[in-house]
Amino acid sequence: MAKLRKFPPFVHLFVGLTLVYLLTIVSVSKKKSFSDLEFVPVTENSSKAEITFKNGYKVVVRQGTGTATTVGAPYELQCIPQNATISDDIIGYLTSEEITELMYEIQLLNKIS
């Protein structure tokens, strides 16, 4: 029978941290981002996209007339819990990258009971 080689503790720590890092990358890569949004016209000069995550939170992203936006930050985001019909929590003046960051954070929130 072959002898099993013992590794120093730092090797086990390195392997463990590497696995945690790889699992984090895989879980983040499955998260929804700005590119998953499908905008539909609301008025002639505005549009919105909605997406509901597995944890029950819904995100509405708007752009155009009547929104809290500028040329450099053309989007606003509203986060709505699953059982609510409206939320007054709107974050304006966002870029597509900032929308993605917020979407990732919202997807990490605990599931709504």
Can you give the residue ranges of every domain in the chain? 34-107
pTM: 0.72
Report the greatest alpha carbon distance in the chain. 76
The tens digit of pLDDT for each residue in 61-72 reads: 999 999 999 999
Contact call for residues 63 and 75 (beta carbons, < 8 A): yes
Over 90: is that where the pLDDT of 14 sits? no
